[in-house]
Structure 1
Amino acid sequence: MRMEKERYIPRIKELRTQKGIMASWIADKIGVSSAAMSKWEKGTSYPTYPYLIRLSRVLGVTIEELYEEQKNDHP
């Protein structure tokens, strides 16, 4: 039997570059370090809910749009 796992992939960098916005500008605007932004964009760490709200407002998207659902099948 195969089980399906869901994983959410950050789209922060994709959305940011589509809008032509620098990561450092967003980091400054929402009050985090550039290193934190980099980790969020790579998916090595994730923003807390208050930062998700700030990110979504700055990027002009919903919180759901910040992440892409990716389904993987694992045996």
Structure 2
Amino acid sequence: MKSRLKIILAEKGLKNKELADLLGTSPTVISNWINGTSYPTAVKLFELAHKLDVKVDDLYEYTEE
């Protein structure tokens, strides 16, 4: 799975820090989600989609890697 979070943040005009504040987490956590070094929990994934006004499916794309 490849994160589309960086693209969505750019489209929404949001920075990692702003999203982190909305979700009550740190900018480092957001960076880790973007880079694929960690992934949000199911609860955070749905909260993330809600805050960004996107579907959960929009946050990731499937890759064969």
Query: What TM-score results when the alignment is normalised by the length of structure 2?
Result: 0.92
Unaligned segments of structure 1, at least 5 residues: 1-7
Please identify which structure carries the higher helix content.
2
Measure the CA separation in 2 of the matches of 1:64 and 1:58: 14
Find the counterpart in structure 2 of residue 62 from structure 1. 55
Q: How does 1:17-56 map to 2 (within 5 A)?
A: 17-56=10-49
Q: 2:5 aligns with which of 7, 12, 33?
A: 12
Larger Rg over CA atoms: 1
Q: Report runs of 4+ in structure 1 exceeding 4 Å deviation.
A: none
Unaligned segments of structure 2, at least 5 residues: none
Query: How many residues are paired up?
Result: 65
Find the counterpart in structure 2 of residue 4 from structure 1. none
Find the counterpart in structure 2 of residue 5 from structure 1. none
Deviation at 1:71, TM superposition (A): 2.3
Q: Aligned Cα RMSD in Å?
A: 1.0
Please identify which structure carries the higher strand content.
1
Percent identity of the aligned residues? 35
Query: What TM-score results when the alignment is normalised by the length of structure 1?
Result: 0.80
Q: Deviation per CA, 1:30-71, whole angstroms, max 9, x where unpaired?
A: 111111001001111000011101110111111111001112
